[in-house]
């Protein structure tokens, strides 16, 4: 294409000559004739010889074995013109040596042309700079070609070369050609870098998307789109309110004065808050002048009480994804944060960590110089903990002055109102007959579109009068009226008898009766479906819901997946039954099903449908019991599904597949190729592997339901044991899926299936009630691994679940497996890493350790052999509860007292006081030296094989408080020396040169450490060691306490000048030290 464009600039005569090629044929014949002569007479051979290095780089662009015979003399295409020019250029160079430098430069530019195709996409515009530069290069080649053809008019190319104007024009042609090829080379390099960057960006985008995808983002988009189906006229009121306009006015403030602004819309359930919020989103996006930007930055999120979209982490992930999609330059920042967060905790995935996500999002929002709109609908649909987290998020970015304008909607909640910063704008949903009429008109025309206009008008007028601002009531009444086989008279009668908006439960009951048609089987299916949706851990597809309903209704008849398929409730029929109560996004079995409104979900959790029409109030305890039973029912569906006989024999993750997935997850280039920018939605699919439609949900969410089961609704322990059996395919199948709820290679949960068996599963996933029930059922050693008791305890400790820890250590059977010196040492190590300072937690830990130590003493005679090791380990870890328990027990047990002082530990050369001192455990040191149960003197005076005493240990921690305690109890040890003749003072100064001032002061001024004691010679004296460490304050303390200055200085006999014996190569520091010496000693020499 570039060559054709270059040719289009030729005149007609040149185009004809280019097509005929007669001149080129003549030239090639002359060159070939010359080449067939002897080497000495061949100009072409001379040219080849002169250009040999360049031609070798060109890798045989012209065949040197038979350089001309194989060439097709044609110049009317790009390849032909390049080959022709190369051949001509070689001949010219052979004829005239003076052209060699220019011809060589020209030939060196040829390969650059070939690189053009590496970066060019034919769909791009030919007007682009890189394309036009290539056109210019072809024009240069054509000019060179035609000038060479002019030479032939003289009859002989070689004679004509001497006489023609070619000699004068060649420099300009070559200069233009080399300039253009250099420009093309640079542009190709830039395009290559851009292409590489694009691939990197695409890979980064996909990685970010995979990490932030909560599985609900597409559902959020679909829900937002569904809110566009509204009566805009009923929403415009909000834009005319003073508070909303003031909020917008504040939004338009200059970024320099920016801080976060808040506006909250309160309204009753079903009043149309979400629809109004959707209108606000579209209003903000369609009014760019408000934000001073052509494209306002609006992030939107809709919370629904579906155990998925109402989680703080999913809100943060969605906002982050929306920001990173618009601000691509921040993706590198996100990946850097993610990798750093991974190194800090291998147990918690950063994108599942609420606090980590929140703090990173705050840091991102603080970077913005432009206004960001954050619209969050349905804050009240988050539970207390998630709502509290989100409000904390608002407080954090508000404190940092992030330029964020927040619009919220919620049912009225005093806590939310008070937690929002001062200056918040508060709006309330308004009800008016006009608005209700507009909403009724829109809904009637949508849901009763086939009814005659007079019927529509009748319904609109009747509903508008009764609606009282409840858009939900309007919708549900119309769902009731749209059921088939209703005459006009029936409609009128129903409209008169319809429960008011304040009696939604009775309206739902009427809908239930109508949907069930008096058929008990239909009623059971509707009830099971709605109960399942009410407590599901995430939004369900229609296929998943159908599976759950089938398992609820036909469970006793189903033992295999083939049974399930045989008894399966038809998804389409089920949807028809429940359609008044749900909203559906999508089509067929993969459609997402959601309870139509939060009010129905709350009623469902309180009452069974049979009681929806009653006026009975349900207290909180009864509601909790019912909710627990609903979770138990869905849990039973999950476990029953995982234990289907034919699924237990299948392997979803063969070893080779798992290895390939882990490789893919760890490969930075995965999961795309340069030609693809779209991520794969799934890397594996349980359904296509024969595990059916409900496996993913059952595998990923049974663990949520078991936590929600109360004591009276716990599952059968045998079922949980079966799905958790060590080494079973069932365990591997569901756990590897549980780790990857998004069904891609990268695990979202950092767990290793090899760590799990039924005991670990019970402690890690089970509720406290289930864990206790499991342990009461008895542990079968053949079903658990040897290390599982400690593993189970460790994870409970890591998560701070001290109740679970207490349950485990108190159990008689499991408790025995947790007793022993070595295990107790391991447990204290875990405690050190994960303990918290709260008083309540410390009291629980004390109780736990009391149980463990008491059990060790009761059941194991060998524990006495471990007693000293356990004491030293407790001192090392700062585990004061265990230290106290041991000494209290020892006061009543002389054998234990003797064992504690036995100095038998092999893990370290120190004893209890030395361990505590070395690691800086001041509270342990103080207790050991002040308790009155045992004589601790042997440990206080303990020396290691190298001669270190407790002071040598203490200086490692540089804790002045520990040194003070030791001086009080053991003053004579201050100047004790090691075998290498190091005192604690020298060890302190030498080992910690920059952080020892207070420690030195305590040793010297309180402990009376000898500042001149240096058995190894003056080089090792405390003063000279401090000088070499450049620690001026330590030098001052030593000198003021009698250190011999003379040992540290030289005095020139002739001049009397003083210098330091240790050349510091730091004149300023040396002068400062000498001045201090002079001040302390009164020496005039030191002042010079």
pLDDT in tens, 552-601: 999 889 999 999 999 999 999 999 999 889 888 887 888 899 888 888 88
The beta-strand segments (E) located in 315-436 are 372-377, 404-410, 425-428
| Chain CA centroid to CA 581, Å | 36
Using DSSP's 3-state secondary structure scheme, residue 811 falls into coil
What φ, ψ does residue 1068 adopt, rounded to 5°?
Answer: -65, -45
Residue 667 confidence (pLDDT): 57
Q: How far apart are CA 816 and CA 809, in angstroms?
A: 8
213-430 maps to CATH 3.40.50.300: yes
- Reading the block at residue 651, the tokens are 């392997």
Q: Is the pLDDT of residue 779 over 50?
A: yes
Each residue's pLDDT tens digit, 509-554: 888 888 888 899 999 999 999 999 999 999 999 999 999 999 999 9
Residue with token string 């829900």: 223
Residue 1082 confidence (pLDDT): 56
Residue 672 confidence (pLDDT): 36
Q: Is the pLDDT of residue 787 over 80?
A: yes
- Reading the block at residue 1007, the tokens are 């402990």
Label residue 144 left, alpha or beta by phi (over 0 means left) and psi (-120 to 50 means alpha): alpha
pLDDT classification of 65: cutoffs 50, 70, 90 = very low
Stated length of the chain: 1088
Q: How far apart are CA 58 and CA 61, in angstroms?
A: 6
- Mark 578-617 as b/e (b = at least 16 C-beta within 10 Å): bbbbbeebeeeeebbbbbbbbbbbbbbbbbebeebbeeee
Residue 1051 confidence (pLDDT): 86
Each residue's pLDDT tens digit, 101-148: 777 777 778 778 877 876 776 667 788 888 899 889 888 888 888 877
Of 214, 207, 347, the C-alpha closest to 750 is: 347
Taking each helix axis from N to C end, the angle separating 354-366 and 384-399, rounded to the nearest 10 degrees, works out to: 30
Q: Is the pLDDT of residue 926 over 90?
A: yes
Least confident of 94-108, 394-408, 809-823: 94-108
Q: Is the pLDDT of residue 75 over 70?
A: no
595, β-bridge pairs: 582
Q: Is the pLDDT of residue 76 over 60?
A: no
Peptide bond into 671 cis (omega under 30): yes
- Could you tell me if 230 and 269 are in contact, meaning their C-beta atoms sit under 8 angstroms apart? no
| Chain CA centroid to CA 450, Å | 50
- Mean local confidence (pLDDT), 1029-1036: 88
Q: Which residue has the higher pLDDT, 74 or 970?
A: 970
Q: What is the DSSP letter of 715?
A: P
pLDDT classification of 224: cutoffs 50, 70, 90 = low
CA end-to-end distance (rounded Å), the chain: 86
As assigned by CATH, the class of the 503-618 domain is mainly alpha
Q: How far apart are CA 596 and CA 879, in angstroms?
A: 54
Q: How far apart are CA 755 and CA 17, in angstroms?
A: 81
Judged on CB neighbours under 10 Å (0-12, 13-18, 19+), 101 is exposed
């Amino acid at each position: 294409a570039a060559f054709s464009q270059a040719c289009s600039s030729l005149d007609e005569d040149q185009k004809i000559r280019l097509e005929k090629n007669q001149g080129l044929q003549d030239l090639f014949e002359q060159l070939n004739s010359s080449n067939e002569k002897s080497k000495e007479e061949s100009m072409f051979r001379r040219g080849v010889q002169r250009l040999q290095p360049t031609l070798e780089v060109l890798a045989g662009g012209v065949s040197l074995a038979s350089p001309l015979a194989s060439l097709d003399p044609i110049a009317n295409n790009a390849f032909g013109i390049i080959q022709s020019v190369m051949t001509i250029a070689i001949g010219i160079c052979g004829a005239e040596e003076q052209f060699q430098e220019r011809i060589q430069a020209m030939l060196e530019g040829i390969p650059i042309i070939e690189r053009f195709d590496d970066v060019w996409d034919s769909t791009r515009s030919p007007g682009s700079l890189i394309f036009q530069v290539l056109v210019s290069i072809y024009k240069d080649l054509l000019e060179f070609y035609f000038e060479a053809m002019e030479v032939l008019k003289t009859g002989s190319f070689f004679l004509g070369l001497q006489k023609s104007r070619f000699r004068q024009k060649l420099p300009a042609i070559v200069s233009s050609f080399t300039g253009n090829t250099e420009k093309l080379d640079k542009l190709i390099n830039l395009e290559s870098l851009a292409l590489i960057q694009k691939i990197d960006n695409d890979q980064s985008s996909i990685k970010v998307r995979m990490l932030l995808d909560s599985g609900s983002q597409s559902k959020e988009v679909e829900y937002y789109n569904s809110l566009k189906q509204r009566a805009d006229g009923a929403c415009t009121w909000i834009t005319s309110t003073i508070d909303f306009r003031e909020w917008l006015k504040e939004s338009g403030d200059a970024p320099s004065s920016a801080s976060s602004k808040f506006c909250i819309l309160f309204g009753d359930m079903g009043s149309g808050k979400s629809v109004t919020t959707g209108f606000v989103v579209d209003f903000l996006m369609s009014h760019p002048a408000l934000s001073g930007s052509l494209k306002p930055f609006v992030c939107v999120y809709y919370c629904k009480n579906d155990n998925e979209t109402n989680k703080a982490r999913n809100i943060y992930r969605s906002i982050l994804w929306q920001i990173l999609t618009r601000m691509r330059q921040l993706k590198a920042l996100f990946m850097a944060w993610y990798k750093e967060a991974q190194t800090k905790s291998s147990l918690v995935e950063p994108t599942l960590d609420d606090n980590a996500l929140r703090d990173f999002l705050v840091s991102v929002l603080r970077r913005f110089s432009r206004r960001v709109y954050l619209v969050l609908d349905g804050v009240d649909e988050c539970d207390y903990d998630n709502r509290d987290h989100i409000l904390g998020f608002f407080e954090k970015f508000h404190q940092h002055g992030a330029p964020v304008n927040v619009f919220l909607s919620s049912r009225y909640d005093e806590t939310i109102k008070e937690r929002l910063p001062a200056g918040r704008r508060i709006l309330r949903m308004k009800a008016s007959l006009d608005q209700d009429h507009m909403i009724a008109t829109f809904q009637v025309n949508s849901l009763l579109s086939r009814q005659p206009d007079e019927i529509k008008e009748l319904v609109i007028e009747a509903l508008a009068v009764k609606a009282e601002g409840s858009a939900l009531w309007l919708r549900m009444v119309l769902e009731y009226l749209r059921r088939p086989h209703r005459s006009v008279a029936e409609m009128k009668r129903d409209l008169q008898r319809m429960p008011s908006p304040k009696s939604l439960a009775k309206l739902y009951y009427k809908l239930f009766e109508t949907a069930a048609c008096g058929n008990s089987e239909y009623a059971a299916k509707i009830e099971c479906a709605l109960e399942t949706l009410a407590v599901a851990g995430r939004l369900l597809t229609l296929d998943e819901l159908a599976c759950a309903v089938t398992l609820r209704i036909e469970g006793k008849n189903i033992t295999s997946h083939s049974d399930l398929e045989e008894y399966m409730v038809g998804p389409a029929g089920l949807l028809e039954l429940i359609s008044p109560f749900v909203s559906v996004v999508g089509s067929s079995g993969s459609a997402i099903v959601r309870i139509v409104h939060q009010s129905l979900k709350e009623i469902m959790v309180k009452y069974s449908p049979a009681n929806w029409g009653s006026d009975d109030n349900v207290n909180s305890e009864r509601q909790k019991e019912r909710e627990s039973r609903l979770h138990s029912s869905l849990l039973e569906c999950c476990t029953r599904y995982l234990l289907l006989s034919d699924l237990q024999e299948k392997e979803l993750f063969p070893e080779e597949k798992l290895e390939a997935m882990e490789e893919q997850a760890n490969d930075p280039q995965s999961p795309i190729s340069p030609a693809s920018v779209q991520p794969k939605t799934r890397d594996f699919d349980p359904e296509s592997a024969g595990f059916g439609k409900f496996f993913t949900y059952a595998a990923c969410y049974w663990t949520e339901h078991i936590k929600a089961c109360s004591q009276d609704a716990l599952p059968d322990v045998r079922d949980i044991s079966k799905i958790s059996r060590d080494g079973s395919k069932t365990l591997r199948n569901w756990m590897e899926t549980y780790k990857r709820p998004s069904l891609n290679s990268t695990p979202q949960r950092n767990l290793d299936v090899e760590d799990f068996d039924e005991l670990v599963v019970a402690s890690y996933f089970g509720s406290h009630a289930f864990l206790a029930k499991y342990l009461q059922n008895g542990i079968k050693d053949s079903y658990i691994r040897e290390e599982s008791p400690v593993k189970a305890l460790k994870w409970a400790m890591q998560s701070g679940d001290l109740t679970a820890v207490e349950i485990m250590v108190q159990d008689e059977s499991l408790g025995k497996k947790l007793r022993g010196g070595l295990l107790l040492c391991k447990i204290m190590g875990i405690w050190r890493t994960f303990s918290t300072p709260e008083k309540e937690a410390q009291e629980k830990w004390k109780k736990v350790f009391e149980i463990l130590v008491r059990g060790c003493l009761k059941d194991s005679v060998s524990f006495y052999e471990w007693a000293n090791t356990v004491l030293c380990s407790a001192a090392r870890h700062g585990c004061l509860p265990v230290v106290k328990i041991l000494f209290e027990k020892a006061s009543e047990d002389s054998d234990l007292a003797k064992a504690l002082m036995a100095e038998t530990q092999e893990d370290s050369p120190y004893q209890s006081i030395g361990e505590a001192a070395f690691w800086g455990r001041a509270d342990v040191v103080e207790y050991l030296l002040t308790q009155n149960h045992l004589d601790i003197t042997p440990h206080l005076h303990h020396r290691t094989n190298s001669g270190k005493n407790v002071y040598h240990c203490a200086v490692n921690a540089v804790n002045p408080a520990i040194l003070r305690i030791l001086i009080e109890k053991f003053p004579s040890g201050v100047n004790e020396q090691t075998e290498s003749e190091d005192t604690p003072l020298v060890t302190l100064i030498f080992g910690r040169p920059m952080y020892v001032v207070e420690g030195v002061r305590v040793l010297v001024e309180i402990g009376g450490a000898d500042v001149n004691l240096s058995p190894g010679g003056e080089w090792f004296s405390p003063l000279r060691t401090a000088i070499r460490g450049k620690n001026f304050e330590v030098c001052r303390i030593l000198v003021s306490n009698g250190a011999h200055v003379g040992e540290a200085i030289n005095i020139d006999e002739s001049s009397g000048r003083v210098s330091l014996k240790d050349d510091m190569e730091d004149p300023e520091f040396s002068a400062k030290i000498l001045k201090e010496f002079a001040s302390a000693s009164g020496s005039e020499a030191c002042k010079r």
